Amino acid sequence: MSEPIVLGIESTCDETAAAIVQGRTLLSNVVASSMEEHARYGGVIPEIASRAHAEAFVPCVSKALADAGLELSDVDAIAVSAGPGLAGCLAVGVSGAKALAWSANKPIYGINHVIGHIAVTQLQFGPFPDDTLALIVSGGHTSLLHVEDVARRIDVVGTTLDDAAGECFDKVARLLGFPYPGGPHIDRHAQQGDPHAIKVPQGLTQGQAGARHPYDFSFSGVKTAVARWVEGEQAAGREIPVDDVCASLADSVATVLARKAMRGCRQYDSKTLIVGGGFSANSQLRAKLLEFGRSNGIEVRIPELKLCTDNGAMVAMLGVNLVEAGVRPSAPDFPIDSAMPLTRVSM
């Protein structure tokens, strides 16, 4: 087969997205978001998100095909996020994708959304090296993965023992009064602050806990330390130096992530670090990873901003990998899996 053409569909959380990838080329990329409908509740409301997916599904897929100048009959396969994510949201995307696959008689792949976040880097940087390490930092996941073969074999090297980095940012953001999602607000304020103004702990980096968990993460202590500090200042009637709080938090989190990722690369003898997930849009993390990568001789592949947050291109790209590897498509009645494990690439 010449370069496979795959339609990718995404509906795990608050983005409805569809995109078409041919080989390593992105032909179209359409994203509709219901984020604004959730902002006043301080978090994603699954019922509202599910309804938004149902409304946006057909317009998104139609536009993705039109932008690529293709008909559904032109694609070789359909890929859709089958998990992990919100059950009601996944059900909308997967049902829609199954209907398309059935009507056009196309193979369908129910893929792992999180693995899509790392697969997407191929659109910018080309195919993966045979054996590589990946850092995944999304809203719900913070993990180091050993990617032997993105279509078939992935192992978890380390993971967060409590909060994900994105969750930690979102919780501190709420404390500081930023609207949901708070991560980008912390990022912006951090750019003007002093990263060493406040002492923020670096979870699982020192002593016995650090030795026992060299590749695991813990961010709940970081969140608590920042919360305590802010409450103390408020109780003393002092004004909160928001920029400094954000900069100190961001520096601590980015340093731990970058340090552990580099250590993992050394351990697995990987000259490349693949980075993905919504939190990889964070400017402090991007800068720290590139800096550490340079000094450790590791090529760090971080996607451009629009491919960091949830999108259909990541789903389509992983779909291409599965087609190219000759992986059997998912059964026509495959289920969603809201807690899909990271070691499972497709259903």
The least distance separating ligand KG4 from the CB of residue 193, rounded to whole angstroms, comes to 14
Decide if 312 contacts 8 (C-beta within 8 A).
yes
Pick out residues in 81-100 that bind ligand KG4 (CB under 6 A).
none
Q: Does 169 bind ligand KG4 (CB under 6 A)?
A: yes
- Residue ranges in 126-145 that form contacts with ligand KG4 under rule CB under 6 A: 138-140
Q: Which does 201 bind (CB under 5 to 8 A by kind): ligand KG4, Zn ion, none?
A: none
13 binds ligand KG4 (CB under 6 A): yes
Q: Which is nearer to Zn ion, 20 or 31 (CB)?
A: 31
- Amino acid identity, position 307: L
End-to-end CA gap in the chain: 23
State the residues that interact with Zn ion by CB under 5 A.
Answer: 138, 310
Q: Are 10 and 316 in contact (CB under 8 A)?
A: no
Choice from 216, 244, 251, 310 touching ligand KG4 (CB under 6 A)? 310
Instruction: Classify burial at 207, counting beta carbons within 10 Å of its beta carbon; exposed 0-12, middle 13-18, buried 19 or more.
Output: exposed
Q: Choose one: 59-67, 201-209, 212-220, 271-279; the region binding ligand KG4 (CB under 6 A).
A: 271-279
Tell me if 310 is assigned to a ligand binding site: yes
To the question of whether residue 183 is assigned a binding role by annotation, the answer is yes
217 vs 279, which CB is nearer to ligand KG4?
Answer: 279
Q: How far apart are CB 15 and ligand KG4 at their closest, in Å?
A: 7
Strand ranges in 139-224 using DSSP code E only, listed in sequence order:
142-149, 153-159
Closer CB to ligand KG4, residue 270 or residue 309? Answer: 309
Q: Please, what's the b/e burial string for 126-147 (b: 16 or more CB within 10 A of its CB; e: otherwise)?
A: eebeeebbbbbbbbbbbbbbbb
Closest contact distance (angstroms) between CB of 117 and Zn ion is 6
From residue 11, alpha-carbon distances to 16, 53, 61, 85, 258 in Å are 5, 7, 12, 8, 29
333 is in an annotated binding site: no
Closest CB 62 distance from ligand KG4, rounded Å: 24
- Please spell the DSSP secondary structure of 238-300, one letter per residue: PPP-HHHHHHHHHHHHHHHHHHHHHHHHHHTT-SEEEEESGGGG-HHHHHHHHHHHHHHT-EE
Has 337 been labeled as part of a binding site? no
Residue 118 host element (H or E): helix 113-119
Q: Among 88, 277, 293, 312, indicate the residue that binds ligand KG4 (CB under 6 A).
A: 277
Residues that bind ligand KG4 (CB under 6 A): 13, 138-140, 166, 169-170, 181-184, 187, 277-279, 281-282, 309-310
**Which residues carry a binding-site annotation for Fe cation?**
113, 117, 310
